[in-house]
């Protein structure tokens, strides 16, 4: 009887063990977040892009990038750097052709997407020119600090020293100077007329909202204006 009872216990244990193993096989394995794609064309900081076709004031531009691991689809984002408007296109391919206005600077990136999440590539810039030129306007500066919407604590001080930082780039690599505009309404008051550094400090009053922008000028006299950013000092 003991032998029969022991055999029954072992048989039940084996069945439970097999059931447990079978259950583990049915557990879905999460799909990893997509890898980051590498941009290919248009090349970064390209001075003049020769389009495949031109109709009126627009041109067809083909964008290409590398495949990202685990990606199901891609979202191509193209920003008009003059107007700051973004056009988005979704595709399962690693290439896409879009019609864009000529004589305009653009930036672009690609977001790799799957059911788990998404990852965003680096952002590249190019200037879409209908006619080749000996000199191109700089790209609008990227404002990096203070970031848009930042709240800077005053710690009960009447004034605070704020350091502004930005990044400049130019298709011809001939940036001559930057001008900083800053005020409490719309960022149209010039506080620094010309400097070559990409950082500047200003002593500002607490309890106010500030708006700022940067105008970039190259050696040929061409200029571009950044987007307006804002922050608060509380």
- Domain range annotation of the chain: 39-128, 139-233
Quickly name the fold that domain 139-233 has: Immunoglobulin-like (2.60.40)
Per-residue pLDDT of the chain (234 residues; tens, 9 = 90+): 455 554 444 444 544 444 444 445 567 788 899 999 999 999 998 876 665 555 568 888 999 999 999 999 999 999 999 999 999 999 999 999 999 998 899 999 999 999 999 999 999 999 998 666 667 889 999 999 999 999 999 999 999 999 999 999 998 889 999 999 999 999 999 999 999 999 999 999 999 999 999 999 999 999 999 999 999 999
Assigned CATH for 39-128: 2.60.40.10
- Does residue 95 contact residue 64 with C-beta atoms inside 8 Å? yes
pLDDT given for residue 53 in this prediction = 54
Q: Which pTM was predicted? A: 0.75
Beta strands 104-113; 73-80: pairing state: antiparallel
The tokens describing 160, both together, are: 């605070």
**What pLDDT sits at residue 54?**
54
pLDDT at 190: 97
Residue pair 177/217 in contact (Cβ under 8 Å)? The answer is yes
* Cβ–Cβ under 8 Å, residues 46 and 126: yes
Please check whether the two domains, 39-128 and 139-233, share a CATH topology: yes
91 within 8 A of 110, measured Cβ to Cβ: no
The pLDDT score that the predictor gives to residue 180 is 98
């Amino acid at each position: 009887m003991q032998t029969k009872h022991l055999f029954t216990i072992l048989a039940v244990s084996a069945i439970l063990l097999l059931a447990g193993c079978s259950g583990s096989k049915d557990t879905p394995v999460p799909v990893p977040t997509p890898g980051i794609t590498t941009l290919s064309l248009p090349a970064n900081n390209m001075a003049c892009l020769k389009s495949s076709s031109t109709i009126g004031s627009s041109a067809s531009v083909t964008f290409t990038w590398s495949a990202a691991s685990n990606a199901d689809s891609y979202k191509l984002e193209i920003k008009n750097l003059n107007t700051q408007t973004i056009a988005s296109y979704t595709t399962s391919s690693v290439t896409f052709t879009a019609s864009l206005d000529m004589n305009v600077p653009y930036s672009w990136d690609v977001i790799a997407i799957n059911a788990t999440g998404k990852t965003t590539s680096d952002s590249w810039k190019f200037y879409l020119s209908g006619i080749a030129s000996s000199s191109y306007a700089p790209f609008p500066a990227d404002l990096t600090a203070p970031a848009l919407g930042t709240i800077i604590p005053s710690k009960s001080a009447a004034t605070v020293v704020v350091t502004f930082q930005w990044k400049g780039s130019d298709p011809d690599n001939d940036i001559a100077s930057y001008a900083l505009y800053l005020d409490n309404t719309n960022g149209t008051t010039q506080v620094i007329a010309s400097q070559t550094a990409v950082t500047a400090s200003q002593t500002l009053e607490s309890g106010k909202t500030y708006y700022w922008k940067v105008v970039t000028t190259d050696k040929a006299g061409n200029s571009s204006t950044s987007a307006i950013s804002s922050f608060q000092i509380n």
